[in-house]
Amino acid sequence: MSTRFFEVVTDAFEVIGVSVMVIGFVVSLVVTARRWARTGDGALAFSTLRKMFGGVILLGLEVLVAADLVRTITSTPSLTEALILALIVLIRTVLSFSLQVEMDGVAPWRRALVTGPEVLAAAVRRPGEPEASAR
Report the b/e string of 1-21 with b at 16+ CB within 10 A.
eeeeeeeebbeebbeebeebb
Which position has the higher pLDDT, 127 or 80?
80
Label residue 80 exposed, middle or buried (CB < 10 Å: 0-12, 13-18, 19+): exposed
Q: Identify whether the C-beta of residue 62 lies closer than 8 Å to the C-beta of residue 116.
A: no
Q: Identify whether the C-beta of residue 122 lies closer than 8 Å to the C-beta of residue 33.
A: no
Give the H/E segment covering residue 88.
helix 79-104
Mean pLDDT of the chain: 82
pLDDT in tens, 84-118: 888 888 888 888 888 878 777 777 666 655 555 66
Please give the model's pTM, rounded to 2 decimal places: 0.67
Residue 108 is given by DSSP the state: G
